[in-house]
C-alpha cells in the first residue's frame, strides 16, 4: 500500500499547474450553453489541445499523452482547483473517445479522434427519446439499409450540447424484427447532415444547453457506424460505463468545490452547516481515495464493470449536497458561481442514467438481487 | 502511488478469515454472550496461531513486528466474523501501553488485556487492566481494581467502570506507577509519567494506542457491514412475498444499493488511515477520525438496512443477525464515538492551520 506520488507524477502535476496558472482565463467564460459561450469554450479547448492537455488519457497518436488513470486524476485535480472552464468537449473526449478506441475502425479513429481532441468537432449525445429515457431500450428511432449505408429517422431529445455541437452519437433500431436491446446500431452523425433538424430546448436555468434532434431520412454511410451493426447496445454500454465511472466526473472537480465550501464554513458560526461542510469535504476526499484505489485495481487488470454505478450515485449526490450547504451558508450573499453550480448539480442525479436506474444496476448486477 | 492491498496483507487476512471460519461460527459468537469464558475460546487460540495477536508486537518480544497497515484487512475479517473478546484492546491497543513481559504473553496468546476507553471491555476475564490516571498509566492485575458493571448493548461485550484501586505488593513489574490506593481519577496524585520498561511519554503512548485501536475498530465495522450486506442480499433473494422474492422490489433494492455504496466508499478511507498511522503523517489523527466516522456510518446503515430487510425475523434472537447488529452499535461507540471523531475532524478542517491533502 503506497500513497506517495512518484517523481514523474509530481513533475507532471507541476507542469500542469504551471501551464494552468499561465493560461486559465482570469474571468469565467460566458455559459457554454450560449452561442458565444460555446465558441469561447471551443477556443479554450484548442488552447488546451495546443499543450496536449485536452485529452491527456488518450494515446499520443490521437493527440493525448498516454496518461494513466493516476496522471489523469492529477490533471483533473489541478484543472478544477485552478477554476478552469467547464469542458464543452466532454461528450467526445471522455465518453465517445474511449468507445471509439475500443470499438472503432482504424480509419474512424484517424478521421475522428484528432478533430475531437482539437475541438474541431464537438459532440453531443443522442440517447434519450421522448418515450425512451430511463428505459433506453424502448427507443424507436430507426436505421434502414440503403445501399452501402443507412437511412436514419426518428427523434432524440434532451441532448446536451446539441444546440451548438457539430456531431452526435446515438442508437438506432436497425432490425425491425428484434426487440429491446437487440437489433440496435450505434451511429455517428454530423448535425449538419441533410434531414437533421436541431431544436434547442430551454432549461430550468434559462439556457438552451440541450435540444431535440429530428432525423428525417438522414443518410449515414457505413463509415458512420461504430462497432458492428446490431451490436449497438454493447457499444453504448461502454460509453455509459465511462459516463458513470470516474472518467466523466473526477474527484478533482468535487475536491475543488469542497475546498471552497470549507472556506465558507470557516466564516460561519452555524454548527450544523459547519459540520455538513466538514462532512462533504471528507466525502470528496473519500471519492478521491476510492479513485486511487480503483486506479490501482485497474492497473492490476480489473475491468470496469457495473461498479461505475456506485460512483455515479456517490458523486452526483455529493455535488448536490455541497451546493445546498453552500447556498444555506451564503443566504442572501449567494454568488453566480454557487448558483450556477447548484443548478448544474441538480441535473447530476438525472443525467447519465438516473440514480434510480443506477441503484437498480447496483442491486441487480453488483449485489445479485433478482430482476 | 499504488493504493492497493499488498499480497502479504491479503495473505494475512486470508489466514485470519480461514481461522475464524473454522473456529468462530455464529454459534461461538452467541455462546460468548452466555458464557464469559467463551470470549476467549478456540478463536482466540487460532488468532494467536496465525499471528494476529502478536502482529504489532516487535519481533524481539515474540511478535511479527508488523505495522497497522499490514493488519488492516485482517481486522476487516475479524469484523466479518464478529469475533468476540478484547481483541482490539489486547492486540492493537495494549502493545503501545505495556512493557516487554506483557508483550511476550500477548504475542503468545496467553494473556488478554482490557484498556479503559473509558470502559473496561471484558475486564472480567482480562489478565491485565490498563487505566489511564492523569499523567500516568496504571497497569493493574485482576482484583486490584474494583469493577463496576456497565450496561452494554452487545451481550458478547461486557463493560465495566474502574472502581477503587488497591495495588498489590510494591515492586511488581506490572505496576506502572508507585501509586497509592484509592479512586482512579486525575486528582488522585498518582505519580510518574512513565512505567517500567516503557520509554515513551504516557500521553504519546495513549494517543498511539487510541488511534490504532480506533482504526482497527473502523476496519472491523467494514467487515461487520459487509457481512450484514451479504446476509441481507441472501435473505432478500430467498424470502418470497406477493409471489416474488422481496429482493426484486425496488424499495428493497435501493436500500441495499445505498448500503453497498457507503461501504464501498468507506473502505479506502480506512485503508488510508492505516497508511497514515503507519507512516506517521501529520494528518494521521484526522484520517483516523474520518475512517471511524465513515466506517461507523456505513456499518450503521448496513445494520439498519439488514434489520429492515429481514423484517420481524431479524428482530428475533433466534436469527444470528442480532449478534452482528449489536456489535455494530457497540463498536460505533467504542474507541471514540462519532461525536468525538467529528470534533477532531472539525478542528483539523476548520481550524487556523491550512488543510493539507496527502499525498
**Residue A27 to residue A240: CA distance in whole angstroms:** 33
pLDDT of residue B189: 31
Where residue B292 sits, what CATH number does that domain have? 1.20.140.10
Chain B partners within 8 Å of A287 (Cβ)? 265
Please state, rounded to an integer, the average pLDDT across all residues of chain A.
95
pLDDT of residue B199: 52
Chain A partners within 8 Å of B268 (Cβ)? 286, 289-290, 292-293
C-alpha of A169 from chain center = 13
**Domain for residue B281, yes or no?**
yes
Average pLDDT for A319-348: 96
pLDDT of residue B305: 98
User: Residue B176: pLDDT band by 50, 70, 90 thresholds?
Assistant: very low
Give Cβ neighbours of residue A192 (< 8 Å, ≥ 6 apart).
Answer: A166
Q: CA-nearest residue of chain A to B73?
A: A1
A360/B294 Cβ within 8 A:
no
Q: Which three cell numbers stand for residue A198?
A: 436541431
pLDDT of residue B171: 46
A76, A77, A207, A243: the catalytic one is A243
Average pLDDT for B21-39: 93
B1/A286 Cβ within 8 A:
no
User: For residues A162-199, b (16+ Cβ closer than 10 Å) or e, as one string?
Assistant: bbbbbbbbbbbbbeeeeeeeebbbbbbbebeeeebebe
Among B66, B72, B82, smallest CA distance to B218 is for B72
Nearest CB to A6 within list B1, B265, B294: B1
A262/B350 Cβ within 8 A:
yes
Residue A356 clears pLDDT 80, i.e. is over it? yes
pLDDT one-digit tens code per residue, A18-51: 999 999 999 999 999 999 999 999 999 999 999 9
Chain A partners within 8 Å of B270 (Cβ)? none
| Across A74-88, A211-225, B118-132, B162-176, least confident range | B162-176
pLDDT of residue B118: 87
Nearest CB to A287 within list B265, B275, B357: B265
Chain B partners within 8 Å of A264 (Cβ)? none
**Domain for residue B42, yes or no?**
no
**Residue A65 to residue A93: CA distance in whole angstroms:** 13
Q: Model-level pTM?
A: 0.94
Chain B partners within 8 Å of A369 (Cβ)? 233, 236-237, 245, 247-248, 252-253, 256
Average pLDDT for A147-173: 96
Chain B partners within 8 Å of A286 (Cβ)? 265-266, 268-269, 290, 294
Domain that holds residue B265: 203-350
Chain A partners within 8 Å of B349 (Cβ)? 262, 278, 281-282
Residue B308 clears pLDDT 90, i.e. is over it? yes
- When divided into structural domains, chain B yields a total of 1
pLDDT one-digit tens code per residue, A51-63: 999 999 999 999 9
B245/A3 Cβ within 8 A:
no
A6 in contact with chain B, both atoms CB, cutoff 8 A: yes
Q: Which three cell numbers stand for residue B133?
A: 490516571
User: Residue B179: pLDDT band by 50, 70, 90 thresholds?
Assistant: very low
B261/A296 Cβ within 8 A:
no
Nearest CB to B237 within list A4, A300, A370: A370
Instruction: Judge whether A243 counts as a catalytic residue.
Output: yes
A268 in contact with chain B, both atoms CB, cutoff 8 A: no
Domain residue spans in chain A? Answer: 7-88+113-117, 123-231, 245-366
Chain A partners within 8 Å of B294 (Cβ)? 282, 286
For an interface test with B, which of A265, A314, A369 has the most B Cβ atoms less than 10 Å from its Cβ? A369
Residue A145 clears pLDDT 60, i.e. is over it? yes
Average pLDDT for B53-82: 97
Average pLDDT for A103-112: 96
| Across A96-100, B1-5, B269-273, B292-296, least confident range | B1-5
**Domain for residue B56, yes or no?**
no
Helix (H, G, I), strand (E, B) or coil at A180: coil
What is the third-level CATH fold of A123-231?
Answer: Butyryl-CoA Dehydrogenase, subunit A; domain 2 (2.40.110)
Query: Does the CA dihedral A273-A277-A279-A283 come out positive or negative?
Result: positive
pLDDT of residue B188: 32
Nearest CB to A2 within list B2, B250, B345: B2
Please state, rounded to an integer, the average pLDDT across all residues of chain B.
90
pLDDT of residue B195: 47
Residue B173 clears pLDDT 60, i.e. is over it? no
Residue B190 clears pLDDT 90, i.e. is over it? no
pLDDT of residue B310: 98
Nearest CB to B3 within list A3, A286, A362: A3
Distance from CA of B321 to the nearest CA of A (A): 19
pLDDT of residue B70: 97
Distance from CA of A328 to the nearest CA of B (A): 17
Query: CB of A50 within 8 A of CB of A100?
Result: no
pLDDT one-digit tens code per residue, B313-338: 999 999 999 999 999 999 999 999 99
A146 in contact with chain B, both atoms CB, cutoff 8 A: no
Residue A339 clears pLDDT 70, i.e. is over it? yes
Alpha-carbon distances, residue B229 vs A63, B270, B299, B322 (angstroms) = 44, 18, 9, 13
pLDDT of residue B196: 46
pLDDT of residue A304: 72
pLDDT of residue A83: 96
**Domain for residue B334, yes or no?**
yes
A296/B3 Cβ within 8 A:
yes
C-alpha of A88 from chain center = 10
Which CATH superfamily hosts domain A7-88+113-117?
Answer: Acyl-CoA dehydrogenase/oxidase, N-terminal domain (1.10.540.10)
User: Residue B200: pLDDT band by 50, 70, 90 thresholds?
Assistant: low
Chain B partners within 8 Å of A6 (Cβ)? 1
B257/A278 Cβ within 8 A:
no
A299/B357 Cβ within 8 A:
no
Nearest CB to B269 within list A6, A289, A307: A289
**Residue A99 to residue A85: CA distance in whole angstroms:** 24
B265/A310 Cβ within 8 A:
yes
pLDDT of residue B170: 58
**Residue A78 to residue A23: CA distance in whole angstroms:** 13
**Domain for residue B72, yes or no?**
no
Question: Greater confidence, A238 or B81?
Answer: B81
A369/B248 Cβ within 8 A:
yes
For an interface test with A, which of B349, B352, B354, B359 has the most A Cβ atoms less than 10 Å from its Cβ? B349
The interface predicted TM-score (ipTM) is 0.95
Distance from CA of A262 to the nearest CA of B (A): 7
pLDDT of residue B185: 39
Residue A242 clears pLDDT 80, i.e. is over it? no
Nearest CB to A368 within list B1, B233, B350: B233
Nearest CB to A296 within list B2, B237, B346: B2
User: Residue B353: pLDDT band by 50, 70, 90 thresholds?
Assistant: confident
Among A181, A116, A183, smallest CA distance to A144 is for A183
| Across A196-200, B159-163, B173-177, least confident range | B173-177
Residue B194 clears pLDDT 70, i.e. is over it? no
For an interface test with A, which of B350, B356, B358 has the most A Cβ atoms less than 10 Å from its Cβ? B350
Distance from CA of B245 to the nearest CA of A (A): 7
Distance from CA of B18 to the nearest CA of A (A): 23
Residue B352: exposure state from Cβ atoms within 10 A (0-12, 13-18, ≥19): exposed
Average pLDDT for A233-245: 82
Which CATH superfamily hosts domain A245-366?
Answer: Butyryl-CoA Dehydrogenase, subunit A, domain 3 (1.20.140.10)
**Domain for residue B126, yes or no?**
no
pLDDT of residue A258: 98
A289/B247 Cβ within 8 A:
no
Average pLDDT for B220-230: 98
Among A150, A161, A149, A164, smallest CA distance to A215 is for A150
Average pLDDT for B34-54: 92
Residue B41 clears pLDDT 90, i.e. is over it? no
A286/B248 Cβ within 8 A:
no
Chain A partners within 8 Å of B257 (Cβ)? 313, 358-360, 362-363, 366-367
Average pLDDT for A334-344: 95
**Domain for residue B180, yes or no?**
no
**Residue B321 to residue A80: CA distance in whole angstroms:** 45
**Domain for residue B344, yes or no?**
yes
Amino acid at each position: 500500500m503506497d500513497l506517495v506520488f512518484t517523481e514523474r507524477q509530481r513533475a507532471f502535476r507541476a507542469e500542469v499547474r504551471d501551464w494552468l496558472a499561465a493560461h486559465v482565463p482570469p474571468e469565467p467564460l460566458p455559459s457554454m450553453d450560449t452561442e458565444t459561450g460555446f465558441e469561447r469554450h471551443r477556443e479554450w479547448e484548442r488552447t488546451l489541445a495546443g499543450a496536449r492537455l485536452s485529452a491527456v488519457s488518450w494515446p499520443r497518436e490521437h493527440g493525448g499523452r498516454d496518461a494513466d488513470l493516476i496522471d489523469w486524476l492529477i490533471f483533473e485535480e489541478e484543472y478544477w482547483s485552478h477554476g478552469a472552464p467547464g469542458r464543452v468537449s466532454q461528450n467526445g473526449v471522455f465518453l465517445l473517445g474511449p468507445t471509439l478506441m475500443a470499438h472503432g475502425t482504424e480509419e474512424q479513429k484517424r478521421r475522428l479522434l484528432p478533430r475531437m481532441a482539437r475541438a474541431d468537432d464537438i459532440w453531443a449525445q443522442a440517447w434519450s427519446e421522448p418515450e425512451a429515457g430511463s428505459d433506453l431500450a424502448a427507443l424507436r428511432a430507426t436505421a434502414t439499409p440503403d445501399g452501402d449505408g443507412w437511412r436514419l429517422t426518428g427523434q432524440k431529445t434532451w441532448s446536451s450540447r446539441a444546440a451548438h455541437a457539430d456531431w452526435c452519437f446515438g442508437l438506432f433500431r436497425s432490425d425491425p424484427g428484434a426487440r429491446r436491446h437487440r437489433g440496435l446500431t450505434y451511429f455517428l452523425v454530423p448535425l449538419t447532415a441533410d434531414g437533421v433538424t436541431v431544436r434547442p430546448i430551454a432549461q430550468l436555468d434559462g439556457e438552451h444547453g440541450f435540444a431535440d434532434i429530428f432525423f428525417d431520412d438522414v443518410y449515414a454511410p457505413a463509415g458512420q457506424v461504430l462497432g458492428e451493426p446490431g451490436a449497438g447496445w454493447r457499444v453504448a454500454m461502454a460509453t455509459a460505463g465511462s459516463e458513470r465511472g470516474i472518467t466523466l466526473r473526477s474527484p478533482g472537480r468535487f475536491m475543488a468545490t469542497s475546498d471552497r465550501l470549507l472556506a465558507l464554513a470557516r466564516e460561519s458560526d452555524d454548527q450544523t452547516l459547519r459540520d455538513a461542510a466538514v462532512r462533504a469535504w471528507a466525502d470528496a476526499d473519500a471519492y478521491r481515495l476510492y479513485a486511487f484505489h480503483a486506479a490501482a485495481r485497474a492497473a492490476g487488470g480489473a475491468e470496469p464493470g457495473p461498479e461505475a454505478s456506485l460512483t455515479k450515485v456517490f458523486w452526483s449526490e455529493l455535488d448536490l449536497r455541497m451546493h445546498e450547504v453552500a447556498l444555506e451558508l451564503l443566504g442572501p450573499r449567494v454568488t453566480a458561481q454557487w448558483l450556477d453550480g447548484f443548478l448544474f448539480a441538480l441535473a447530476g442525479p438525472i443525467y447519465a442514467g438516473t440514480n434510480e436506474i443506477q441503484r437498480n444496476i447496483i442491486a441487480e448486477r453488483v449485489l445479485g438481487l433478482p430482476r | 502511488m499504488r493504493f492497493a492491498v499488498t499480497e502479504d496483507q491479503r495473505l494475512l487476512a486470508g489466514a485470519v478469515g480461514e481461522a475464524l471460519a473454522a473456529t468462530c461460527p455464529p454459534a461461538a459468537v452467541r455462546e460468548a454472550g452466555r458464557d464469559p469464558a467463551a470470549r476467549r475460546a478456540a478463536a482466540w487460540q487460532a488468532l494467536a496461531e496465525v499471528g494476529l495477536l502478536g502482529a504489532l508486537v516487535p519481533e524481539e518480544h515474540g511478535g511479527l513486528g508488523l505495522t497497522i497497515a499490514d493488519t488492516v484487512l485482517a481486522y476487516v475479517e475479524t469484523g466479518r466474523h464478529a469475533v468476540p473478546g478484547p481483541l482490539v484492546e489486547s492486540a492493537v491497543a495494549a502493545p503501545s501501553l505495556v512493557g516487554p513481559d506483557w508483550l511476550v504473553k500477548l504475542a503468545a496468546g496467553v494473556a488478554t488485556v482490557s484498556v479503559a476507553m473509558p470502559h473496561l471491555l471484558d475486564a472480567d476475564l482480562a489478565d491485565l487492566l490498563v487505566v489511564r490516571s492523569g499523567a500516568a498509566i496504571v497497569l493493574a492485575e485482576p482484583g486490584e481494581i474494583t469493577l463496576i458493571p456497565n450496561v452494554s448493548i452487545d451481550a458478547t461485550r461486557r463493560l465495566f467502570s474502574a472502581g477503587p484501586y488497591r495495588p498489590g505488593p510494591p515492586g511488581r513489574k506490572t505496576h506502572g506507577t508507585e501509586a497509592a490506593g484509592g479512586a482512579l481519577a486525575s486528582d488522585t496524585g498518582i505519580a510518574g509519567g512513565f512505567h517500567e520498561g516503557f520509554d515513551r511519554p504516557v500521553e504519546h503512548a495513549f494517543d498511539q494506542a487510541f488511534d490504532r485501536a480506533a482504526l482497527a475498530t473502523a476496519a472491523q465495522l467494514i467487515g461487520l457491514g459487509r457481512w450484514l450486506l451479504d446476509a441481507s442480499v441472501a435473505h432478500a433473494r430467498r424470502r418470497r412475498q406477493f409471489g416474488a422474492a422481496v429482493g426484486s422490489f425496488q424499495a428493497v433494492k435501493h436500500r441495499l444499493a445505498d448500503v453497498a455504496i457507503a461501504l464501498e466508499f468507506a473502505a479506502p478511507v480506512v485503508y488510508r488511515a492505516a497508511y497514515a498511522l503507519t507512516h506517521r503523517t501529520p494528518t494521521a489523527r484526522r484520517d483516523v477520525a474520518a475512517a471511524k466516522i465513515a466506517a461507523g456510518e456505513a456499518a450503521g446503515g448496513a445494520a439498519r438496512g439488514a434489520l429492515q430487510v429481514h423484517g420481524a425475523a431479524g428482530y428475533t434472537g433466534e436469527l444470528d443477525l442480532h449478534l452482528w447488529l449489536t456489535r455494530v452499535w457497540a463498536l460505533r461507540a467504542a474507541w471514540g464515538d462519532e461525536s468525538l471523531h467529528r470534533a477532531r475532524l472539525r478542528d483539523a478542517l476548520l481550524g487556523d492551520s491550512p488543510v493539507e491533502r496527502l499525498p
